[in-house]
Structure 1
Amino acid sequence: MSMEVVNAVGRRKAAVARVYVKPGKGNITINQKPLDTYFPLEIFQYVVKQPLLVTSTTENFDITITLDGGGIKGQAEAARLGIARALCEIDAEMRPVLKKNGFMTRDPREVERKKPGQPGARRKFQFSKR
């Protein structure tokens, strides 16, 4: 187990999470705020902690995350990917269990751009015969 800070990046939609993992006692800080202040909803706290829960390393590391861009869900999932990638760098043995749970896959779905002459990406204006 490495004693220095391991960093990784996680992305999802427009959100970017820079994750710094060091040995500690389980504190998670996001943009200088504790996890439960930054993500008041339990579900997003759970999403961020998922890689730690499946590898049962919740109490082993202190994690500092810098989140930028996107919305609340995208940010939570970006943080999850970043944490999973950092854990793999620390201990390659964790990789199979993280991969099996789908935490190592970058979700490629992005918002499609709005096209000119249309109200949205795919939506067309109402057709009128006359």
Structure 2
Amino acid sequence: MSSGSPTASAPSSSQRTAAAGDLAGQAMEQAGILAASKSTTVDCSSGAAQVSQDGAVVRIKGECNKLTVSAIGALVIADSIGSLDVTGTGVAVAAGSLKRLTISGTGTMISYAGTPPAVEDRGSGSAVSSDPLTD
């Protein structure tokens, strides 16, 4: 017979990944609903871009050395990203290639093609996957 109070356990890695997928899925659903009215294409020929509009759906064209996403429920699709910094909640980013990733947000979902990026995850509920979205 055990004495003492019940002990709560921390969520498992698979539970955290599922929660991140749920949040990111909600963000992508929201982004899909808003796509017709808020979809934007950005040419990143300057080498840097920023997405800060909540609920934005943004297509980043070209080689983007530095991309910063600080929004809620944003969906970003990019050709190529050197360094990606994500803050905010429910952000989803799909990249053709990604070299470096820093996450400080909650419920972030990142997908990339090719070589895995260097990842620094200071957020919670993040999911990073090598299964990119396709056209």
Fold conserved between structures, TM > 0.5: no
Q: Which has the higher strand share?
A: 2
Q: For the pair shown, which has the larger CA radius of gyration, 1 or 2?
A: 1
Q: Which has the higher helix share?
A: 1
Which TM bucket (shorter chain)? under 0.3
TM-score with structure 2 setting the length: 0.25
TM-score with structure 1 setting the length: 0.26
